[in-house]
Amino acid sequence: MDNGRIITAVAANLEIAAPRVRSAVALLDAGNTIPFIARYRKEMTGSLDEEQLRAVAERLGYRRNLEDRRETILRSLDAQSVLTPELQREVHDADTLQRLEDLYRPYRPRRRTRALMARQRGLQPLAEVILAQPVTGTREAAAEPFVRGDVTSVEEAYQGARDIVAEHIADDADLRAEIRKLVGRRGELIAQQIQKAKDPKGTYQLYYSFASDLRGLRPHQVLAINRGEREGALRVLLQLPKTEALGILALRYQADAGSFLAEDLIEARIDGYNRLLFPALEREARRMLTEQAEAHAMDVFATNLRALLLQPPLRGQCVLGIDPGYRTGCKVAVVDITGKVLDTTTIYPDRKRDQAKQTLRTLVNRHDVTVIAIGNGTASRETEMLIAEMIQEGLAVRYTLVNEAGASVYSASQLARAELPDLDVSLRGAVSIARRLQDPLAELVKIDPQAIGIGLYQHDVDQRALTDTLDTVVASAVNSVGADLNTASPALLAYVSAIGPRIAENIVNLREQQGPFKDREGLLQVSGIGPKTFEQAAGFLRILEGDEALDRTGIHPESYEVAREILSLLDASIADPQLPEAIQQLRQAMDLNELARELGTGRPTLEDILEALQSPGRDPRDELEGPILRVDAATLKDLRPGMRLKGTVRNVVDFGAFVDIGVKHNGLIHISQMGKRFVRDPHDQVAVGDVVEVEILNVDMDRGRIGLSLIT
C-alpha cells in the first residue's frame, strides 16, 4: 500500500498541508489518542485541533479501504485474465470506491442473471454482433449458428443476446457515471400516501403528495419519508426525465439506421435502462440520501450533546432534587456540595399538600439547601407552582427546572446500583437530577447519550454509528474539562484519553484500597496502566490536593521541568497570588519564540503552559452563563405577545430551537425568527444550555404552543 499516495490524497481532500497530515498519521498509527495529539503534540501537527484530526482519521480510513479494495480488485481481474493495460490504468486512477466498484462491476462474480444464462448458452458472440451494428447480412443468417442445443429459435437467440447487451450497457462504468450525474441534477423524490389506515393520526400528512428535487431535500424530510415508507404509510420513488436518460444511452450506444440489428440494440438499451440501470441507481440514490441525512442527524445530536455536557456547573450549592410524579408521589433527595446524598423522602403535594410543604421546609432548613432542582417530566409544573408558592411564603431558596431525560435509565443501571446501593431505584432519579445541576458533565456521562433526547430522528439512524459518534463527543467533552483523579466516577474516568471502562474500575478500586492519589505518578501503580497509557492519560487527570502543585493543571508531566523553569524565572509558585500578573508581564516583555527555544520546547506548548499557570485548575465551563434560578412561576395565561423573557435552550433542530421560559411547555424559536439576516443553521445562533433573551410572538392555549423570537 502506497502510504505517500494516501497522505497526499488526504491532504488534498482536507486542504491541509501534507507535512501536517503526515505527522498526524504517524501519531495515530503509533497509538496516540486524538485528544492527546490535539493537546500535547501541537508542534508536530501544526496545531491541528480535534475536529481536524478526526477528519484526518476518517479520510485516512477511507483512503486505506480504497487502496485495499483496489488491490483486491486488481488481483481478481488478473486471476480472471481480463486485466488489460487500459483497465489496469483505469483501476489505478480511480479516486473513489464508487468508481472502483463501477469498473469492477462487469467482472465481479454474480448470481444467475438472464445475461449469465445467455452466455452459458453460447450467445455472447451474437450480443457482440448487435453491438457492432453490421449493415450487411440478415437477422436470420446472423443468428443461424446459435440456434442449437437449448436455443430453439432465432428469436430465442436474439432474446438472450439482447439480455447480454442490456447488462453490458447497465454495467458501463462511464455511462453509469453520466446517468448518476443526471440523477443528482434532475432527479426528484416522490412520496404518496398508500392508505389512511397506515397513518391514522396523520403523522405523515405533509408527505401524502410530496415532490422535491434531490438537491432541495432537507435531512429531516428524508428521515421522515423513510420512516413513513417503513410503516407502510407512504409509497416512495425516484423520478428521472426518461427521455433525457435514454438519450444519454443512445449517444453512447448508437443504433445504425442501416443495420438490420438496429431495433435489437434499441430494445436492449431500453431494457437495460428500465430493468437494470435505473433501479440500481434509484437504490443507490436513496441509500446516499439516507446516509447523508443520518450523518446530518448524528451531527445535530452530537452538537447538542456537547453543548449539554459542557453546561457550567453550579458549584458550592447544597441542592434538593425533586423527581416529580402523581400516583407514586414526588421523590426527593438532598445532596451536599460534593454530591453526597444527605437525605431522601417522598412527598404527595396533590393529596397532602401541607404535609409536603412541611417536609420540604424541614429538609431545606436541616441541610442549608440553597437551590431546588425540579425534573421537567410529569407533574413538574405542579411541583414548580408548589415551590414558587413556598418561596412567596418565605422559604429562602431559588429553584430551576432540570432536563430529567434519562434519569430513569440511570436509576435502574448497574452503575446506579453500585453508587447508591442503599437507595430505592425510584429515589436514585432525584439524586441524579440534583447532581445534574451541580455538575452536568459528571452526571450525564453515566447515562446512555441516546436516552437524553436532544436529537433529530435519533431512532431512525444507524445505531452503531450513532453510538460511536456520541461516544466521541462525550470523550472530547471530558478531556476538554479534565477529571479529578480522586473523586471522578468510573463512568467519567472511562472517557479519559486511553483509559476505558476496565482501567477506570481499576483506578477506583485502588483509590478505595489505598486512599486518594498523592500525585499523577501514582497512576503507574494501577493495573493496566503502563508508560504509554500514562503518557496518553496523565495530562487530563487532575489532583487538586496532592504533593505536586502542577498536578492541579492541564500541564503534562513531560513538561513539568519547563513549567518549573518558568516559575523559577518569575521567582514565584503556583500558589502565589501575583503569578497571573507576572505571567502577563512575561508575555509582554519577552519574545515567546526565543523563550521557547531557550526552554527546549515549542511555542504552542509554551503558550499552553503559561495559560495553565495563569489559571491553575481552570474549568472552561465557568466562562459560560449558569442556569436560570427562579423564585416565581408563570403559566401560559401569564404570557402576552411582546413580552421579553430569559430562557434556557433545551434542544436545537434543523428548523429552530426549543426554549424553556419557565412555563409548562417549551417555546419554539423558528429559524426565521433567529435574526434579521438569513440563518442557514440554528446552531450558528444558539446551543443547548444557552441562556437567551426572547420575545413572545404568539401563544396557542389549546395546543400549548408558544412562538418566540430571538433577541440578538
The DSSP 8-state label assigned to residue 145 in this structure reads G
Pick the more confident residue, 264 or 197. Answer: 264
Report which listed range, 91-100, 410-419, 688-697, is most confident. Answer: 91-100
The DSSP 8-state label assigned to residue 394 in this structure reads T
**With bands split at pLDDT 50, 70 and 90, how would you rate the model's confidence at 8?**
very high
* 3-state SS class at 152: coil
Residue type, 429: G
Residue 231 to residue 211: CA distance in whole angstroms: 19
Give yes or no for residue 455 having a pLDDT over 80. Answer: no
Q: What is the chain's mean pLDDT, rounded?
A: 92
Q: What is the pLDDT of residues 614-641, one digit of tens each?
A: 988 788 888 777 787 777 767 777 788 8
In-domain check, residue 502:
no
- Cα distances (Å, whole numbers) of residue 531 to 4, 471, 500, 523, 525: 30, 25, 16, 10, 11
Phi-psi region of 211 (alpha: psi -120 to 50; beta: other; left: phi over 0): beta
Residue 572 to residue 566: CA distance in whole angstroms: 9
Alpha-helix residue ranges (DSSP H) falling in 403-529: 407-411, 414-419, 425-438, 440-444, 463-481, 490-493, 500-514
Q: Which residue has the cell 501544526?
A: 46
The CATH number of residue 102's host domain is 1.10.10.650
Position 551 scores a pLDDT of 95
Q: What angle do CA 25, 480, 442 make, to 5 degrees?
A: 130
58 and 93 in a single domain? The answer is yes
Q: Within a 10 A sphere around the Cβ of 509, how many other Cβ atoms?
A: 13
In-domain check, residue 509:
no
Name the residue among 84, 77, 87 with its Cα closest to residue 109: 77
Q: Strands 656-660 and 644-653, how do they pair?
A: antiparallel
In-domain check, residue 624:
no
267 and 287 in a single domain? The answer is yes
Position 240 scores a pLDDT of 96
* 3-state SS class at 233: coil
326 and 449 in a single domain? The answer is yes
Give yes or no for residue 449 having a pLDDT over 90. Answer: no
Name the residue among 369, 371, 345 with its Cα closest to residue 359: 345
Strand partners, 217: none
Residue type, 496: V
Residue 299 to residue 58: CA distance in whole angstroms: 15
Q: Within a 10 A sphere around the Cβ of 439, how many other Cβ atoms?
A: 21
223 and 125 in a single domain? The answer is yes
Position 650 scores a pLDDT of 87
Give yes or no for residue 441 having a pLDDT over 90. Answer: yes
DSSP string, 131-192: HH--SSS-HHHHHGGG--TT--SHHHHHHHHHHHHHHHHHT-HHHHHHHHHHHHHH-EEEEE
Residue 189 φ/ψ, nearest 5 degrees: -95, 125
Residue 710 to residue 645: CA distance in whole angstroms: 10
Query: 84, 107, 130: which is the final residue of a domain?
Result: 107
Q: If DSSP states are collapsed to H, E and C, what string results for 81-144?
A: CCCCHHHHHHHHHCCCHHHHHHHHHHHCCCCCCHHHHHHHCCCHHHHHHHHHCCCCCCHHHHHH
Give yes or no for residue 517 having a pLDDT over 80. Answer: yes
In-domain check, residue 591:
no
131 and 259 in a single domain? The answer is yes
Residue 671 to residue 684: CA distance in whole angstroms: 11
Query: 107, 126, 148: which is the final residue of a domain?
Result: 107
In-domain check, residue 503:
no
137 and 254 in a single domain? The answer is yes
Query: 78, 107, 136: which is the final residue of a domain?
Result: 107
* Mean predicted confidence (pLDDT) in 206-230: 94
Residue 670 contacts by C-beta under 8 Å, 6 or more apart in sequence? 655, 656, 707
Strand partners, 115: none
- Cα distances (Å, whole numbers) of residue 105 to 149, 218, 378: 30, 31, 56
392 and 245 in a single domain? The answer is no
> Residue 462's domain spans which residues?
319-482
Residue 234 to residue 209: CA distance in whole angstroms: 9
Cβ atoms 296, 465 nearer than 8 A: no
Alpha-helix residue ranges (DSSP H) falling in 445-530: 463-481, 490-493, 500-514
Give yes or no for residue 457 having a pLDDT over 80. Answer: no
267 and 176 in a single domain? The answer is yes
**With bands split at pLDDT 50, 70 and 90, how would you rate the model's confidence at 1?**
low
Q: What is the pLDDT of residues 669-678, one digit of tens each?
A: 999 999 888 8
* Mean predicted confidence (pLDDT) in 60-75: 96
- Count of helix runs (H) and strand runs (E) in the chain: 30, 15
Residue 128 to residue 175: CA distance in whole angstroms: 18
Position 397 scores a pLDDT of 95
In terms of pTM, does the model score above 0.75?
Answer: yes
Position 653 scores a pLDDT of 87
**With bands split at pLDDT 50, 70 and 90, how would you rate the model's confidence at 24?**
very high
The DSSP 8-state label assigned to residue 547 in this structure reads S
The CATH number of residue 186's host domain is 1.10.3500.10
* Mean predicted confidence (pLDDT) in 359-370: 96
In-domain check, residue 558:
no
Position 326 scores a pLDDT of 87
Percent of the chain at pLDDT exceeding 90: 74
Q: What is the pLDDT of residues 554-607, one digit of tens each?
A: 999 999 999 999 999 999 988 888 998 999 999 988 899 999 999 999 999 999
Cβ atoms 400, 661 nearer than 8 A: no
Phi-psi region of 624 (alpha: psi -120 to 50; beta: other; left: phi over 0): beta
Give yes or no for residue 286 having a pLDDT over 80. Answer: yes
Q: Strands 371-375 and 319-323, how do they pair?
A: parallel
**With bands split at pLDDT 50, 70 and 90, how would you rate the model's confidence at 346?**
very high
Residue 449 to residue 223: CA distance in whole angstroms: 20
429 and 333 in a single domain? The answer is yes
Cβ atoms 313, 621 nearer than 8 A: yes
The CATH number of residue 678's host domain is 2.40.50.140
Count of the separate structural domains present in the chain: 4
Determine the length of the chain: 712
Strands (E), 303-414: 319-323, 330-335, 341-347, 371-375, 398-402
Residue 648 to residue 62: CA distance in whole angstroms: 40
List the 341-347 sheet strands across, edge first.
341-347, 330-335, 319-323, 371-375, 398-402
**With bands split at pLDDT 50, 70 and 90, how would you rate the model's confidence at 272?**
very high
The CATH number of residue 450's host domain is 3.30.420.140
- Cα distances (Å, whole numbers) of residue 240 to 171, 222, 661: 19, 18, 47
In-domain check, residue 617:
no
Distance spanning both ends of the chain, measured CA to CA = 53
59 and 201 in a single domain? The answer is no
Give yes or no for residue 475 having a pLDDT over 90. Answer: yes
- Cα distances (Å, whole numbers) of residue 341 to 336, 375, 406: 7, 17, 20
Residue 277 contacts by C-beta under 8 Å, 6 or more apart in sequence? 169, 170, 175, 176, 179
Give yes or no for residue 266 having a pLDDT over 70. Answer: yes
Q: Which of 57-61, 446-450, 570-574 has the lowest mean pLDDT?
A: 446-450
Q: Which residue has the cell 496532592?
A: 546
Residue 482 to residue 553: CA distance in whole angstroms: 9
Position 110 scores a pLDDT of 81
124 and 52 in a single domain? The answer is no
Residue 503 to residue 536: CA distance in whole angstroms: 13
Name the residue among 230, 188, 182, 185 with its Cα closest to residue 209: 188
Position 188 scores a pLDDT of 97
283 and 345 in a single domain? The answer is no
* 3-state SS class at 188: strand
In-domain check, residue 522:
no
